[in-house]
Amino acid sequence: GENVEQHPSTLSVQEGDSAVIKCTYSDSASNYFPWYKQELGKGPQLIIDIRSNVGEKKDQRIAVTLNKTAKHFSLHITETQPEDSAVYFCAAMSSFQKLVFGTGTRLLVSP
């Protein structure tokens, strides 16, 4: 089955810097790759996603890139703000079945 690895496990940046989180997946049949943000005591919230027929997608300060050949995808956050501090999860879906999640990255943005 699918296996998703995520790095780094923690990331500390200064406000205004960029943050990059990377994930790799194992199943070449995976075709949908979302990113979720989870704040303390809440369920994960979808922030951006990308499908296998697209290489890059942007939404304001957030972007995701996908390299299907290498089986990895990345989340890029520019001009980070303290409210970006949270745990971020990547995930992959194979054959429109279920999502398999990475282990999460705790992002801390210091003012």
Partner 1 sequence: DTGVSQNPRHKITKRGQNVTFRCDPISEHNRLYWYRQTLGQGPEFLTYFQNEAQLEKSRLLSDRFSAERPKGSFSTLEIQRTEQGDSAMYLCASSLMGPRANYGYTFGSGTRLTVV
Strands 72-77 and 99-101: unpaired
Q: Return the range that interacts with partner 1 (CB under 8 A); candidates 14-22, 56-64, 75-83, 85-93.
A: 85-93
Using alpha carbons only, give the angle 81, 105, 20 rounded to the nearest 5 degrees.
60
Q: How far is the CB of 45 from partner 1 (least distance, A)?
A: 7
Among 3, 28, 97, 110, binds partner 1 (CB under 8 A): 97
Q: How far apart are CA 4 and CA 39, in angstroms?
A: 21
- Interface with partner 1, residue 14, by CB under 8 A: no
Q: Which of residues 38-57 bind partner 1 (CB under 8 A)?
A: 41-46, 49, 51
